[in-house]
Structure formats: structure tokens, C-alpha cells
Amino acid sequence: MARLNSTHLLFLFTFCLLSFELASQTNQTPSSAEPMQAQAESPLVAEIDQMLQNNADLASSMNSATGEDRDALQTQLFVKNQELRKLLARAISNEAMDSQRLLQLVRQQEVYSKQAYSFINKRLTQLNDQINKASDDSKLSLINQYGELQSYLNSVLQSSWENIEWMRKLGQGETDAQARLTEQISQRLRLLSASIDYIQQQLSVIGRQLSVSLESDKSGFQLSQLVTQQKLDIVVQSMINTYTLADKLGLPTAEYKRQVFSATGNITRDILDWDVLLSIIKHWSYSVWDWTLDNAPQVIFQLVILALILFAAKFAANLTQSVVRKTVAARNFKLSQLMQDFFISMAGKVVWVIGILVGLSQIGLDLAPVLTGFGIAGVIIGFALQDTLSNFAAGMMLLIYRPFDVGDFVYAGGVDGKVSHMSLVNTTIRTFDNQIIIVPNSKIWGDVIKNVTHERIRRVDMVFGIGYQDDLTKAEAVLGDIISNHPAVLRSPEPMIKVHVLNTSSVDFIVRPWVKTDDYWDVYWDVTREVKLRFDREGITIPFPQQDVHLYRPQSSQA
């Protein structure tokens, strides 16, 4: 059977119509010619007569035409018939023509619509078979023909509805034509509904095949997906046109509108219809219920497995932290408290994350896309958080080189105080007046770090001055006695007491005892107090800067 273009089909139907029109005009009796002649005086009637005559001439010419000439004539016939329908609509609206003749022309249009509907349906069935059997490359051209046929069929149904409206205006109750159109619309809605469900299933299958196919096979599946999606769009549009006519006929269309919404996801005015909303809610509830019945046991089992895995992971994380805590606290490792806290925290978190990933894999989640997504997100976050990553790197360097530990008194990042906490991003320092200052690690690592309490013992550096008139030997003995009698001063290393410098107004001694780091300030303050008290008792002065000003009165000169 030779393939017949869908446009040619409509032209064929138009040709049948025009042939019928010509036969009707030829067989008119002389008695009916007189009223027709009278009506011809109307410009609209004259235009209709001229259109009929032109169509008759085109139909006659088409009998002897071939090839492209015949196609051109068919195109003109189709266009002329559409123009004829517009003229008929005007004539019926304006009552510009004899009602009997209008009835005759409208009935001819009904015959055309009936034959066209039957023929296009038959052709659609044949074309569907060709599409199913054709290769993917050939399906694209066939899909275009499929779309044209669906569009023409929608036009035929619309014309049938217009024919019924015209007959009502002409005083004819077209109950048979309306019943026939109602049956056609109902049948078409059911067919389109089944087609939408079937095509959506095909798209779902193709999508699954595409997700697991090799790269070399993906192009074929993508082409098949494109063809199927185009077919779905055509069928959905036909469904919209058809249920619009069904609404005019008073047919129930809520379920079909729900199906279109489900297929397209487009929110239209139809969604505001209560029946459509109720249909959508019912469909969703049925879907949820069916899914629950089919998958609830499996889902519950997977959730129980997930809960057990997470419980085991949490237990394993706590156990790992305990083991790591005991291990890093061993004296052989000599790790700082910061490094110990870091290893303990990271060990627990790593075990916990691994447990979560294992649990997710057990419930059917594909971890490859998730890990890939984390990798891509990591790169993006890395660029966005460069300063934070700089602090992280500095924190790692601080943990490795250990310039200070928790509890040390430090001067770092422009802040002095006691280190109370440290993370990989920042360090928390408690100042001597009990303020909490959080310093970014990059600022600490990039600046001078002074650890006051890192060593077990420290030297207290003090300077005391005496007057030039005081006994130097006596002052040195008093200082030695004060230092030697203080219980917190260490005997080894030996304290140092020396004359340091002959200053402008004093003779300065340096006093440098060694103490435990924890006793530093106690010794400093005790010795300073005791030096003042002993110097006062021994009559040794502590000079302070002073300046003598001598004034001379000049003698007045004799005149």
C-alpha cells in the first residue's frame, strides 16, 4: 500500500465534498432555481456562489492533473473549503441566504466531517503500526505525519460541533448528529487516555535503559526518547482539544484533565475546577496506597536495617574514640593535648560517616552520584571558602609543630592569655581579665607566637636601683638574702644578682632567680614587696628620677 501524506487525505475529503456539492447544484430543479436567483442579489450569497463555482472548477481541473500540479490543486481545495465554512457561518448568522439551501450546504459539510473522521481514524491506526515497526531514524518523519493527522482530526471534530450549532440556528434538532459526535468524542477521549498511559510507560522504560546503558548506546536511546516525547506532546494536545469539545457536550472530563496535568505538570485554569482537584487528590491517594501496599514491608525492613546499622555505627564510633583516647595518651607518643583531641574527634567522625554511607547503601541509595556530588560541591565550596581553608591548613600546621598546647599562656595573633580550646579553624584564648577571644589560626600561624608556659621552669627578671650614696655591698647582700629565703626560688639553676648599670640617678642591680613556671608571678610580686620593705629597714634608698633647678639673680648694672 503506497504511503499517503496526511495533507493529501484532507484534500481528498474536500474533493469528495466539492464533488457532492457540484452534483447537488447540477441536479437542482427549475423550481428551486428561482429563489436561488433571488438570493444571488445579496453580496454574501454571490460570494458563496462564486466560491462554489471556483471549487467546482478546481475539482474538474484536478481530474486531469498529476504530480505537483495535483498537490497544488488539492491545497487550494482545502483552503477554499475553509473559506467556504467561514462564509456559511456569516450567512447563517446574518440569515443572508435561503434556509433550505443553507441546510443543504450544512448537511454536505456533515457528510464530509463524517467521512473525514472515519478515514483519518483508519489512517492513524495504519500510521501507528508503521511507527512501531519503523527504525528510530524513520520515526521522526512519521511522527510529523502523525501530528498532522491528529491536528486534522481535531479540526474535523470541531467542524462537526460547528455543524450541529449551525443546524440548531436553522431550526433543525440534530439529535442524531449530536449523539454521533458524543460517541466519537467519548471514544477518542478513551483512546487518547490509553495512549498517554502507554507512552508514559515507554518513556519510563527508555529512561531506565538510558541510565544504565553504555556511552556508545546512549545516542540510540536518546533518539528514541525524543521521538516518544514528541508523540506524547502531540497526544496531550489532542486530548486538550478533545476534552474542550467534551465540555461543550456536557461530558465528564475531570479524569482526563487530571491525566493531562499529570503528564505535563502545567498548572492551568482547569486545575481550579473542584472535580479536577478531587480527581487529582483521589489519584494521588490511590497511588500512595498502592505504593504502600506494594512496598511497605520492604521499606519497613530497610528502615529497620538502617536503624541497626546507625546504632552499630554509633557504638563503633564511641568505642573507636575510647581506644584512640587511650592510645594517644600513652607517653610513648608524646602528643600534645590538641593533637590528642584532634585524633579522638576525627576517629569517631570517620567511623560515624562510614556507618551512615553503609546504611544508605543498604536501603538502595546509589552512593556514586552522592559521592560525585560531594566532590563537585567540595571544589565549589573550596573556592568560596578560601579563608576558611587557609585557617584549616594553619590549624593542621599548629597541630603538627605544636607551638603551644591547651592550658599554655601564649602571646599569639596579637592576643595574650591562656589557650582554652583549639579547633582546625580557630583558637580560643582566655585573657588574664577573663575575656574570651577567638583568633583565626591563619593569623596565629602567620605571626610571632610566644609561649610563656611551654617550659617547666622560668627565670624571673627584675631590676632594682639604689642611690649613689648607699652601701653597694650591703644592698647586694640584702638582695641575696631575700632571694635565698624565698621558698619558691630554685637552688638550681643558681639565681643571679649583679650590678647591672650605673644609671643617671641610681645604681641598678639585676636579680634573676629561677622558679617553676606556675610560681613565676608569685615570686615576682613577693620579691618586689620584700625588697621595698628590707631597703626601708636597712636605710637603703630607692632613688627616683629628679632634677635640681638652680636660679641665679643677675646684678643690676650701674648707670
Residue 511: φ, ψ to 5°: -125, 115
- Quote the cell numbers at residue 127: 500510521
Q: What per-residue confidence (pLDDT) applies to 283?
A: 58
Taking every pair of Cα atoms in the chain, the longest distance, rounded to a whole number of angstroms, is 168
Cα 194 from Cα 287, distance rounded (Å): 18
CATH architecture of 284-384: Orthogonal Bundle (1.10)
At 418 the three-state DSSP class reads: strand
Convert the pLDDT of each residue in 157-201 to its tens digit. 888 888 888 888 887 766 788 888 888 888 888 888 888 888 888
**Residue 218 near residue 210, CB atoms below 8 Å:** yes
Cα 79 from Cα 82, distance rounded (Å): 5
Query: Domain limits of the chain?
Result: 1-21+36-173, 187-272, 284-384, 405-451, 457-538
Cα 232 from Cα 198, distance rounded (Å): 9
Which residues have a Cβ under 8 Å from the Cβ of 288 and sit 6 or more positions away?
A: none
Q: What per-residue confidence (pLDDT) applies to 293?
A: 66
Convert the pLDDT of each residue in 282-338 to its tens digit. 656 656 666 666 666 777 777 888 888 888 888 888 888 888 888 877 766 666 666
Q: What is the CATH number of domain 457-538?
A: 3.30.70.100
At 463 the three-state DSSP class reads: strand
**Residue 489 near residue 530, CB atoms below 8 Å:** no
Q: What per-residue confidence (pLDDT) applies to 34?
A: 41
Convert the pLDDT of each residue in 224-264 to its tens digit. 888 888 888 888 888 888 888 888 888 888 888 877 777 77
Angle of helix 175-212 relative to helix 215-249, nearest 10 degrees, comes to: 160
Cα 298 from Cα 50, distance rounded (Å): 75
Q: Is residue 32 over pLDDT 50? A: no
Q: What share of the chain in percent tops pLDDT 90?
A: 15
CATH topology classification for 1-21+36-173: Methane Monooxygenase Hydroxylase; Chain G, domain 1 (1.20.58)
DSSP state of 95: T
Cα 244 from Cα 149, distance rounded (Å): 18
Which residues have a Cβ under 8 Å from the Cβ of 445 and sit 6 or more positions away?
A: 394, 397, 398
**Residue 251 near residue 186, CB atoms below 8 Å:** yes
DSSP states of 249-307 as a string? HT---HHHHHHHHHHH----GGGGSHHHHHHHHHHHHHHHHHHHHHHHHHHHHHHHHHH
Q: CA nearest 39: which of 83, 91, 80, 82?
A: 91
Dihedral class, residue 87 (left if φ above 0, else alpha if ψ from -120 to 50, else beta): alpha
Mean pLDDT of the chain: 79
pTM: 0.48
Convert the pLDDT of each residue in 80-111 to its tens digit. 777 888 888 888 888 777 778 888 888 888 88
Convert the pLDDT of each residue in 505-546 to its tens digit. 899 999 999 999 889 999 999 999 999 999 999 999 988 776
**Residue 116 near residue 181, CB atoms below 8 Å:** no
Length of the chain: 559
| Partners of 464 in the β-ladder | 509
Q: What is the CATH number of domain 405-451?
A: 2.30.30.60
DSSP states of 358-409 as a string? HHHHHTT--HHHHHHHHHHHHHHHHHHTHHHHHHHHHHHHHHHH-S--TT-E
Do domains 1-21+36-173 and 284-384 share one topology? The answer is: no
